[in-house]
C-alpha cells in the first residue's frame, strides 16, 4: 500500500520537487498551495491518483480542511512535508518593521505550520501503521539556515524559522511516543523563486554567497527533495526532534577568506559504474551492518578491521577497484560509552582511527574530485550526562574534525558528515550512512546528524524515544 504524502506549498520550488520525488517513489501526493491553479496543474502533471488543492496555511481554518481533504480522498495521511513559507525580502530594518509584516510572516511560516502539524497528528495518532515497525506518521518541517545565523534585514524570517526548530524539538520528543516522527530540514541557499526574488531585489549577491559555501554552489530543489525523502524513510528512524542541515557546508565554515579552494581535482560527478566503498572498523557491530547494507546496494565494499594499517588498506581497496566513492568510519563505536574505558583509550580507538582513515580516503578522493566520508560517533559529544568523559570528548572532537574536512575538501567536491548516535543504536542506522554516501545527499556536508531518538534535546520528565 502506498503512503499518502501531503506537501504544503507544493506548487513551486522545493515543495514541487518534493511532490515529484514522493510520486516517483509510488506515494500518493496531495499538493496544498495558496496558488490553487498551480496546485491542480502540478497534481495533474504528476499523473492519476494525485490531488491539488487551494489552501492558504495562514487561514486558521485551512489546516483542518487540508487534512480532512486527504482523509476524504485516501482515508489516511502518512507523511506531511510542511514546506509552505515566505520570506521578508523588503530589506526593512528591525526598527522600522511594522508589526503587521511580522505577523504575516509568523502566520504563514510558524502558526500555519503548527496548525497543519496538529491537524495531521490528530489523524496520525489513531491510524494503524502501514507496516509492522513503521511509524503512524512522519512530519518534516522546512526550517532554514536562517534559524541559526542572523541575517540583517531578514529578522522576521529568521525568527519564524528559529520558532520552527523549537517546534520541531517539542513535537519530535512529545509525539514520538504516539508513533509520529517529527524532524526538520534546514536548507542553505537553494535555487528557487524565493532566492531568485532575493537576488533580483539585490538582497543576495549569488557569487558572494557561493564564495562562503564550501561546496562552492547553491543547492537544487531536487537535492532538498531527496533529503525530505530520507527524513520520511525508515533510514531516519533514529531521528526525533532533530534538524538536518543541508547547506553545502555554509553554516559550519568559519574561515576568514572565501571558502571554495580546490585542494585537489576540480569537483566532478562520480563516473558511471559500480561504486567502491570502504568500511573502516568493519569488526564493530555497526561497521558490520554498514558492510551488509552497502553490499546489498550493489557496491563493491572493502571491510577493514579497526586495528589494520588504515592508510595501506584503504589505498589498496581504491587501487583494486580504480576508485573510492565512500568511507564509513565505524572504529571504536562498540565501546564508546564504556565506563571502564579511559579518555586516552577512547581518543586512540575512536578519534585517531577516524582521523587516519579519513586522511587516507581524503587524499584519494581529492585527487579524483568526488567522494563522501561518514564518521559514526556518539551523541555524547552533543550533550552532558550521556556517558563517561572519554566517549563525550572523542565524539565532540570527531564532530569538529568532520566539519573541518568538509570545509577543506568541499572545493574539490568531497563531502564529510557525521552521525551522532544514541546509546541505543536505532535499527537502520547503516541505511542512514548509506544515504549520506549517495548522490541524494549531494548538498549535505559538514553536518553532524543526531540520531538518538531525541535524547540529547529532551529536558522533560518522560522518556522520549521509541524508534519510529
Residues that bind ligand NAD in the complex, under the rule CB under 6 A: 8-9, 11-15, 33-35, 38, 55-58, 83-86, 108, 142, 144, 187, 189-190, 192-195
**Residue 144 or 300 having the CB closest to ligand NAD:** 144
What cell does 458 get? 529532551
- Least distance to ligand NAD, CB of residue 287, Å: 34
**Residue 84 or 450 having the CB closest to ligand NAD:** 84
Phi, psi of 186, rounded to the nearest 5 degrees: -110, 95
Strand, coil or helix: what is 421?
Answer: strand
**Cα-based torsion angle of the residue sequence 212, 216, 221, 225 in order, rounded to the nearest 10 degrees:** -90
- Least distance to ligand NAD, CB of residue 8, Å: 6
**Residue 9 or 411 having the CB closest to ligand NAD:** 9
- Least distance to ligand NAD, CB of residue 189, Å: 5
Strand, coil or helix: what is 377?
Answer: strand
3-class SS string, 168-186:
HHHHHHHHHCCCEEEEEEE
Closest alpha carbon to 429 in 364, 384, 464, 378: 378
- Least distance to ligand NAD, CB of residue 302, Å: 37
Question: Can you tell me which residue has the cell 557546508?
Answer: 249
CB of 7 within 8 A of CB of 218? no
- Least distance to ligand NAD, CB of residue 411, Å: 21
**Left (φ > 0), alpha (ψ -120 to 50) or beta: where does 227 sit?**
alpha
Integer CA distances (angstroms), 231 to 225, 238, 300, 328, 392, in order: 10, 10, 26, 20, 26
**Residue 226 or 310 having the CB closest to ligand NAD:** 226
Closest alpha carbon to 277 in 342, 210, 323: 323
Catalytic pick among 157, 189, 253, 443: 157
**Residue 193 or 463 having the CB closest to ligand NAD:** 193
Concerning whether 157 is annotated as a catalytic residue, the answer is yes
Q: Rounded CA gap, 113 and 63, in Å?
A: 9
DSSP state of 149: S
- Least distance to ligand NAD, CB of residue 184, Å: 10
Helices 221-231, 13-24: crossing angle, 10 deg rounding: 60
**Residue 57 or 373 having the CB closest to ligand NAD:** 57
Q: Give catalytic residue positions.
A: 157
Amino acid at each position: 500500500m502506498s503512503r499518502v504524502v501531503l506537501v504544503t506549498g507544493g506548487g513551486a520550488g522545493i515543495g514541487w520537487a518534493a511532490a515529484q520525488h514522493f510520486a516517483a517513489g509510488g506515494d500518493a501526493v496531495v499538493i496544498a498551495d495558496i496558488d490553487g491553479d498551480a496546485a491542480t496543474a502540478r497534481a495533474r502533471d504528476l499523473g492519476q491518483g494525485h490531488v491539488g488543492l487551494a489552501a492558504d496555511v495562514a487561514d486558521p481554518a485551512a489546516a483542518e480542511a487540508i487534512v480532512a481533504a486527504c482523509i476524504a480522498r485516501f482515508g489516511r495521511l502518512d507523511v506531511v512535508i510542511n514546506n509552505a513559507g515566505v520570506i521578508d525580502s523588503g530589506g526593512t530594518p528591525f526598527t522600522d518593521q511594522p508589526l503587521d509584516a511580522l505577523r504575516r510572516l509568523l502566520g504563514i511560516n510558524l502558526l500555519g505550520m503548527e496548525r497543519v502539524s496538529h491537524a495531521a497528528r490528530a489523524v496520525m495518532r489513531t491510524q494503524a501503521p502501514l507496516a509492522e515497525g513503521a511509524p503512524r506518521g512522519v512530519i518534516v518541517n522546512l526550517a532554514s539556515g536562517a534559524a541559526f545565523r542572523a541575517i540583517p534585514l531578514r529578522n522576521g524570517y529568521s525568527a519564524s524559522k528559529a520558532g520552527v526548530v523549537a517546534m520541531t524539538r517539542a513535537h519530535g520528543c512529545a509525539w514520538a511516543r504516539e508513533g509520529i516522527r517529527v524532524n526538520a530540514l534546514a536548507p542553505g541557499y537553494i535555487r528557487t523563486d524565493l532566492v531568485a526574488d532575493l537576488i533580483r531585489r539585490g538582497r543576495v549577491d549569488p557569487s558572494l554567497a557561493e564564495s562562503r559555501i564550501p561546496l562552492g554552489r547553491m543547492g537544487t530543489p531536487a537535492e532538498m527533495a531527496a533529503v525530505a525523502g530520507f527524513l520520511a524513510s525508515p533510514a531516519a528512524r533514529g531521528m526525533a526532534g532533530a534538524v538536518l542541515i543541508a547547506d553545502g557546508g555554509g553554516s559550519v565554515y568559519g574561515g576568514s577568506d572565501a571558502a571554495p579552494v580546490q585542494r585537489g581535482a576540480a569537483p566532478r560527478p562520480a563516473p558511471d559504474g559500480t561504486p567502491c566503498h570502504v568500511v573502516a572498523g568493519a569488526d564493530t557491530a555497526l561497521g558490520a551492518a554498514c558492510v551488509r547494507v552497502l553490499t546489498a546496494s550493489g557496491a563493491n565494499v572493502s571491510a577493514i578491521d579497526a586495528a589494520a594499517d588504515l592508510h595501506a588498506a584503504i589505498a589498496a581497496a581504491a587501487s583494486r577497484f580504480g576508485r573510492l566513492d565512500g568511507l564509513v568510519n565505524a572504529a571504536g563505536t562498540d565501546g564508546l560509552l564504556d565506563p571502564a574505558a579511559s579518555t586516552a583509550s577512547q581518543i586512540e580507538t575512536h578519534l585517531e582511527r577516524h582521523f587516519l582513515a579519513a586522511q587516507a580516503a581524503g587524499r584519494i578522493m581529492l585527487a579524483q574530485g568526488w567522494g563522501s566520508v561518514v564518521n559514526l560517533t556518539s551523541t555524547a559529544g552533543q550533550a552532558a550526562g550521556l556517558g563517561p568523559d572519554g566517549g563525550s570528548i572523542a565524539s565532540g572532537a570527531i564532530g569538529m574534525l568532520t566539519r573541518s574536512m568538509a570545509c577543506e575538501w568541499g572545493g574539490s567536491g568531497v563531502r564529510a558528515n557525521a552521525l551522532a548516535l544514541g546509546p541505543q543504536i536505532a535499527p537502520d542506522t547503516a541505511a542512514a550512512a548509506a544515504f549520506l554516501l549517495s548522490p541524494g545527499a549531494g548538498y549535505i556536508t559538514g553536518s553532524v546528524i543526531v540520531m538518538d531518538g531525541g535524547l540529547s534535546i529532551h529536558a522533560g520528565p518522560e522518556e522520549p524515544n521509541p524508534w519510529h
